[in-house]
Amino acid sequence: MAINYDDRIPNNVNLSGDKRLQRALETWQPAFLDWWQDVGPEGFQKDDVYLRTAISTAPGGWAHFGHVKMPDYRWGIFLEDAVPDRRIPGGDHAGEPVWQEVPGEYRNTLRRIIVTQADTEPASVEQQRWLGKTAPSMYDMRNLFQVNVEEGRHLWAMVYLLHAYFGKDGRDEADDLLARRSGDADKPRILDAFNQPCPDWLTFFCFTMFTDRDGKYQLGALAESGFDPLARTCGFMLTEEAHHLSVGELGVERVLRRSAQLTKLDPNGDARAQGGIDLPTVQKWISYWFSYSLDLFGSELSSNAADFFGAGLKGRWNEAKDFTEHRALDQYYRLPVVKNGSVVEDEVPLRNAMNEVLRQSYIADCQRVVKRWNAALEQEGTDFRVSLPSSRFFRRQGIYAGHDFNREGDLIGSEAWQRQQDEWLPSAADRAYVASLMHAVTEPGQMAHWIAPPRKGINGQDVAFEYVRHA
- Under the binding rule (CB under 5 A), the answer on residue 154 touching Fe ion is yes
Q: For the CA atoms of 63, 67, 69, 70, what is the dihedral angle to 10 degrees?
A: 40
CB of 131 to Fe ion, least distance (A): 14
Rounded Cα gap, residues 467 and 462, in angstroms: 10
With b for 16 or more beta-carbon neighbours within 10 A and e for fewer, the 48-70 pattern comes to bbbbbbbbbbeeeebeeeeebeb
CB burial of residue 177 (10 Å; 0-12, 13-18, 19+): buried
- Nearest Cα to 181, choosing from 99, 130, 123? 123
In terms of CB distance, is 47 or 121 closer to Fe ion? 121
By C-beta, is 152 or 315 nearer to Fe ion?
152
Q: How far apart are CA 273 and CA 429, in angstroms?
A: 15
Binding segment (CB under 5 A) for Fe ion, from list 21-29, 204-212, 378-386, 410-418: 204-212
The least distance separating Fe ion from the CB of residue 399, rounded to whole angstroms, comes to 28
Shortest distance in whole angstroms from residue 150 CB to Fe ion: 7
Identify the bridge partners of residue 337 per DSSP, sorted by sequence position: 344
d(CA 467, CA 458): 9
Rounded to whole angstroms, the Cα distance separating 96 from 86 reads: 9
74 vs 107 by CB, closer to Fe ion? 74
* Alpha carbon 370 to its chain's center: 17
314 is an interface residue for Fe ion by CB under 5 A: no
Binding mask 375-414 for Fe ion (x = CB under 5 A): ----------------------------------------
The per-residue DSSP string of 33-56 comes to HHHHHHHSSTT-TTSEEEEEEE-B
Residues near Fe ion (CB under 5 A), total: 6
Residue 216 or 351: the one with the smaller Cβ distance to Fe ion is 216
> Is the CA virtual torsion 6, 8, 10, 15 positive or negative?
negative
Contact 40, 129 (CB under 8 A): yes
For Fe ion, which stretch binds (CB under 5 A), given 164-172, 212-220, 264-272, 365-373?
212-220
Name the residue among 305, 394, 296 with its Cα closest to residue 348.
305
* H-only helix segments in 104-200: 107-127, 138-165, 167-177
Q: Are 144 and 184 in contact (CB under 8 A)?
A: no
User: 3-state SS of the chain: helix, strand, coil percent to 5?
Assistant: 50, 10, 40
**Least CB distance to Fe ion at residue 129 (A):** 15
Rounded least distance, CB 92 to Fe ion, Å? 30
Across the strands, what pairs with 342?
339
Q: What is the nearest approach in angstroms of Fe ion to the Cβ of residue 215? A: 5
Q: x/- site string to Fe ion, residues 222 to 241, per CB under 5 A?
A: -------------------x
Minimum CB–partner distance for residue 240 and Fe ion (Å)? 7
Shortest Å, Cβ 461 to Fe ion = 22
244 binds Fe ion (CB under 5 A): yes
Q: Which stretch binds Fe ion (CB under 5 A): 172-180, 211-219, 375-383, 396-404?
A: 211-219
Closest CB to Fe ion among residues 244, 316: 244
Based on the shown chain and the rule CB under 5 A, indicate whether residue 163 belongs to the binding site for Fe ion.
Answer: no
Stretch that binds Fe ion, among 27-35, 80-88, 146-154, 315-323 (CB under 5 A): 146-154
Segment contacting Fe ion (CB under 5 A): 132-140, 151-159, 165-173, 456-464? 151-159
Tell me the residue type at 73. Y
Residue number with CB closer to Fe ion (126 or 241): 241
Q: Is 249 in the site for Fe ion (CB under 5 A)?
A: no
C-alpha closest to that of 247 among 189, 305, 205: 205
Judged by CB, which is closer to Fe ion: 228, or 241?
241
Q: How far is the CB of 243 from Fe ion (least distance, A)?
A: 8
User: According to CB under 5 A, which one of 48, 212, 249, 319 is a site residue for Fe ion?
Assistant: 212
Nearer to Fe ion, 80 or 430 (CB): 80
Q: Which is nearer to Fe ion, 151 or 319 (CB)?
A: 151
Site pattern 267..286 for Fe ion (x: CB under 5 A) = --------------------
Q: Quick check: 204 and 254 in contact, CB under 8 A?
A: no
Contact characters 99-138, Fe ion, x per CB under 5 A:
----------------------x-----------------
Distances (CA, A) of 152 to 158, 252, 299: 10, 24, 28
Q: Which residues bind Fe ion (CB under 5 A)?
A: 121, 151, 154, 212, 241, 244
